[in-house]
Amino acid sequence: MSKSVPHESAHLHVTGNATFADDIPQLEGTLFVALFISEKAHANIQSIDFSAVEASTGFVSILTAEDIPGVNDCGPIIHDNPILANEKVSYIGQPVFAVVADSFLNARKAVKKAKVSYEELDAIFDLNEADNNNSYVLPPMVLQKGNAQNKLDQADRKLEGRFKVGGQEHFYLEGQVAYAVPKEDGCLHLWCSTQHPTEMQHLVAKSCLLDANQIVVEMRRMGGGFGGKESQSALFCCIASLAAKKLNRPVKCRLDRDDDMLITGKRHHFNYDYHVGFDKTGKIKSLQLKMLLGAGYSADLSGPVATRALCHADNAYLLDDVDLGAYCCKTNTQSNTAFRGFGGPQGAFATEYIIDNISRSVGVDSLDVRKLNFYGKTENNITPYGQLVEDNVIHELVDELEKSSDYRSRRKEVQAFNQTSTIIKKGLALTPLKFGISFNVVHFNQAGALVHIYTDGSVLVNHGGTEMGQGLNTKVAQVVANELGINPKQVRATATDTSKVANTSATAASTGSDLNGKAAQDAARQIKDRLVTFLSETYSVEKGKISFIDNVVVFGTEKIEFNALIQMAYEARIQLWSDGFYKTPGLHWDKEKLTGSPFYYYAYGASVSEVVIDTLTGEFKILRADLLHDAGNSINPAIDLGQIEGAYIQGMGWLTTEELVWNDEGRLLTHAPSTYKIPAVSDCPAEFNVKLFKNQNVKDSIMRSKAVGEPPLLLGFSVFFAIRDAVASVAEYKINPPLNAPATAEEILSAVDFCRDQASGSVK
Ligand code: MTE
Ligand code: HPA
Ligand code: MOS
């Protein structure tokens, strides 16, 4: 274990030979879908004129809400998410009907010819306006501990304020796609790009009025998901399936990038309103934080996202007296959804921002204020939601990074540089993270797997998780290989398939390898146990004297090649395949009180970023980044380092250039790469030092590793706070720059202007 074996599909990815859903050879007679999307943010549909659509070249059929035999809904939890709008539209981009034609191009041309007349209704876009109007998709959630108001009243020092963080487009390279093929007796086979095959199966069943056993969902890999295909692949799966059922033809629904960005939800944007009490050293005494989440027009996963935000507002800090609120605001925009971190980054960002403010207000380096507020190791370690933090390594992790990054001397260098440089300013920040691992819905924390050993000794593993580039299949194959003492190359992972492993959870919450790795290990272990019993009975050796290493099975003083043993075992009629199952132990959560122990363990990390900004243009560049992250006893260090680097860059993009802009009518203007700026290679730090923190999971996780998919996204925080530090330098670090995220060039420039004006006394 702990070997950097290459990603199982690396050779296919780089040669263009990896099969994605859209690469599956199409059957004769396949038809193609284009969606008509609402042009109004909130309106009743009065009439639709389809005549020009129907006369269009290659037109085959139209699918409307009325064509849905079952339930017109694809909401994952709450049923407020129509597949096709029925009379009313709730955002610009909402699918109203589908046109099916003989090619994508003809479908797209035809759909544009529809004429829809609307009766417009009042729309809400702004979170504060939604809050003032009690416009929520779910009842507000409040998490309280201690007595925040009392402690605030008693505190020596107080601050209050408001700030915001923007949403984020997933920008998976492979867009949403589903290919539905009718099978005998009313059955369907669905190939799609999804993190949640089982949910696709169920939602297709409900909308098509089928039983789950009539639908097979197959998913070999995604070209990225990042949370955007946890629930929101459903709409496209349902539409392809509904059309396939209606026409009894294979139907593919594959979105154009602009439509994908206009239709699907994003990371939730947040508005924050806080009151914090602290002492003169910067120790927090009380925090009141109200978070408004931009849920969009429907609930989708906003409930669990809000819960995770509440459970991460503490980040790595002890908050004994808190009053935290999360309000899922309903607006006439895309329905926001899971995105790497799932509300955790937004919760933790709030407290990091507040600590940044406290530091400047007490005039102490923000690293020292952070350290002062860290959870203790054996005391002062109860979270606001009541979980004991038993595995805290943030102190030693941050100490190590502080040294290896030369934080203190670089702090001095940055300040010295800023003394003499008037236009170009540098900034530095170190931010920590603590991230809870497990689904915050207890019963999702289960997984299944199947392991087959064929008579030539090659092994096939199938599990409930999905591969989205994160290396899950590689890790699961490593686990199985390790268990059987064979080379990982001998183990192949196959497409996720609802007819092989049933009732799977989404591959999400970073739990993919924790859950499916354990399930696959369980399956492999059962086969191994049978082989051990067989050997011990056949050769009268003690079971304890049998070991599987390097493709050889040693028993007593003898040995046999693994492959030869398998052939022998087959002939002796030993079952050479097994299922496996795993459920995470010890989790509990009270949904009403928002208390319990929702996480099996925590992952930790910290990063230092040094940036330079141009105070005349607002541009910035990262000069150097040092990341130190706790992946436990890593199963595959190369893959984990890739996850850590990628997450840092994705977090940096979220907080800097990735700005979502809607116009006054509620139309998303940033709906293509031309207007939405994700990081490029040239935006990566010139000096990029990324290391794994040496640690072992104290919990019995798979190989004592830790989940690594989402937590390092929070490492990107240090870029934002380094920028803010650079901005603050223009006013001698005396003013807290009113910098919202994303810190775009415009945002940086206006914060610089504000600080300069304040410092020179000319308040605008
Ligand atoms: N890495 C790649 N390359 N592509 C992705 O889509 N998704 C992230 C993370 N890393 C993602 C990724 C998200 S949102 C999650 S929850 C985890 O991977 C899911 O996979 P895991 O649980 O197997 O780590
Ligand atoms: N992460 C991702 N998806 C989820 C979660 C979570 O914590 N809880 C429920 N669905
Ligand atoms: Mo990840 S946001 O849990 O898919």
DSSP per-residue codes, 406-417: THHHHHHHHHHH
Q: Indicate if 375 and 505 belong to the same structural domain.
A: no
Confidence of residue 475 (pLDDT cuts 50, 70, 90): very high
Residue 403 domain-assigned (yes or no): yes
CA R_g for the chain: 27
What is the tens place of the pLDDT at every residue in 213-266? 999 999 999 999 999 999 999 999 999 999 999 999 999 999 999 999 999 999
Statement to judge: residues 336 and 407 lie in one domain: yes
* Ligand 3 pocket mutation pick from 171, 311, 342, 438 by most atoms within 8 angstroms of CB: 342
pLDDT at 272: 99
Instruction: For residues 289 and 430, state if they share a domain.
Output: yes
pLDDT at 762 exceeding the cut of 80: no
Helix (H) or strand (E) holding 37: strand 31-37
Residue 681 in contact with residue 616, Cβ under 8 Å?
A: no
- Which domain does 549 fall in, by range? 446-583
pLDDT at 45: 98
Residue 310 counted as domain residue: yes
Question: Same domain for 436 and 450?
Answer: no
Cis-peptide into 742, omega within 30 deg: yes
Q: Which ligand sits closest to the CA of 511?
A: 1
Q: Ligand 3 within 6 A of 230 CB?
A: yes
124-141 residues labelled b (16+ CB within 10 A) or e (exposed):
bbebeebbeeebbbbeeb
461 Cβ inside 6 Å of ligand 3: no
Among 185, 186, 214, residue whose Cα is nearest residue 201:
214
| Separation of alpha carbons 319 and 351, rounded Å | 10
CA distance 433 to 605: 5
Name the DSSP letter for residue 212.
Answer: G
What mean pLDDT do residues 474-501 have? Answer: 98
Residue 149 falls inside a structural domain: no
- In CATH, what number is assigned to the domain containing residue 521? 3.30.365.10
Tokens standing for residue 24: 């599956």
Q: 222 CA distance to ligand 2 centroid (A)?
A: 19
| pLDDT (tens digit per residue) in 378-412 | 999 999 999 999 999 999 999 999 999 999 999 99
Residue with structure tokens 């969009």? 296
Q: Give residue 760 CA to ligand 1 midpoint distance, Å.
A: 47
Residues 510, 515, 517, 520: what is their CA dihedral angle, to the nearest 10 degrees? -150
Sheet architecture: strand order including 446-453:
491-493, 459-463, 446-453, 577-583
- Distance in Å, CA 232 to ligand 1 centroid: 16
The verdict on 204 and 246 lying in the same domain is: yes
If asked whether residues 606 and 535 sit together in one domain, one would say no
Cβ atoms of residues 319 and 282 within 8 Å = no
* Residue 763 in this model has a pLDDT that exceeds 60: no
Task: Supply the residues annotated as catalytic.
Answer: 710
**In a shared domain, residues 615 and 698:** yes
Closest ligand to residue 439's CA: 2
Q: 11: which DSSP letter?
A: H
Q: Which of 310, 307, 322 is nearest to 144 (CA)?
A: 322
For the segment 136-162, what is each residue's pLDDT rounded down to a tens digit? 999 999 999 999 999 999 999 999 999
How many helices (H) and strands (E) in the chain? Answer: 19, 29
Does 163 fall in a domain? no
Q: How many angstroms does the Cα of residue 227 sit away from the middle of ligand 1?
A: 8
Query: What confidence category does residue 537 fall into, taking pLDDT thresholds of 50, 70 and 90?
Result: very high
Of the residues 527, 553, 583, the one at which a domain ends:
583
Cα–Cα dist 370/721, whole Å? 13
Cβ–ligand 2 distance for 63 under 6 Å, the answer no
CA 126/CA 330 separation, integer angstroms: 9
CA distances for 85 relative to 16, 122, 270, 681, angstroms: 38, 18, 27, 40
Tell whether 434 and 528 lie within a shared domain: no
Q: Is the pLDDT of residue 1 over 70?
A: no
Average pLDDT, the chain: 98
In a domain, 162, yes or no: no
What is the best residue among 337, 470, 514 to mutate for testing ligand 1's pocket, by most ligand atoms within 8 Å of CB?
470
698 domain-assigned = yes
Interatomic CA distance for residues 233 and 203, integer angstroms: 11
pLDDT digits (tens, 9 = 90+) for 679-698: 999 999 999 999 999 999 99
**Same domain, residue pair 314 and 420:** yes
CATH of the domain at 54: 3.90.1170.50
Helix (H, G, I), strand (E, B) or coil at 442: helix
The 3-state DSSP composition of the chain as helix, strand, coil percent (nearest 5) reads 35, 25, 40
Sign for the CA dihedral angle at 335, 338, 340, 343 comes to: positive
Specify if 147 maps to a domain.
no
Q: Is residue 502 part of a domain?
A: yes
- The pLDDT assigned to 764 comes to 46
CB of 195 closer than 6 A to ligand 3?
A: yes
The number of angstroms, rounded, from the C-alpha of 509 to the middle of its chain's C-alpha atoms is 7
Do 627 and 701 have their domain in common? Answer: yes
Domain end: 263, 293, 328, which one?
Answer: 263
Q: Is pLDDT above 50 for 121? A: yes
Give the pLDDT confidence of 606-624 residue by residue, as tens digits: 999 999 999 999 999 999 9
Q: Give me 342's structure tokens.
A: 């799932």
Nearest protein Cα to ligand 2, atom 7:
439
Q: pLDDT per residue over 575-605, tens digit each? A: 999 999 999 999 999 999 999 999 999 999 9
Q: Is 509 in the pocket of ligand 3 (CB under 6 A)?
A: yes
Atom of ligand 1 nearest to the CA of 339: 14
**Beta-sheet pairing, 687-692 with 620-629:** parallel
Q: Is the CB of 509 under 6 A from ligand 2?
A: yes
Q: What is the arithmetic mean of pLDDT over 649-668?
A: 98
Residues 358-377: pLDDT tens digits? 999 999 999 999 999 999 99
Q: What is the mean pLDDT of residues 16-39?
A: 98
Together in a domain, 473 and 557: yes
Model pLDDT, residue 2: 84
Q: Which ligand sits closest to the CA of 228?
A: 3
Please give the single-letter amino acid code of residue 665.
Answer: E
Q: How many domains does the chain have?
A: 3
Give yes or no: residues 490 and 395 share one domain.
no
Given 560, 583, 606, the domain boundary residue is 583
pLDDT at residue number 8: 97
C-alpha separations of 440 from 164, 306, 759 in Å: 25, 11, 46
What residue type is assigned to position 448 of the chain? G
d(CA 302, CA 309): 10
pTM of this structure: 0.98
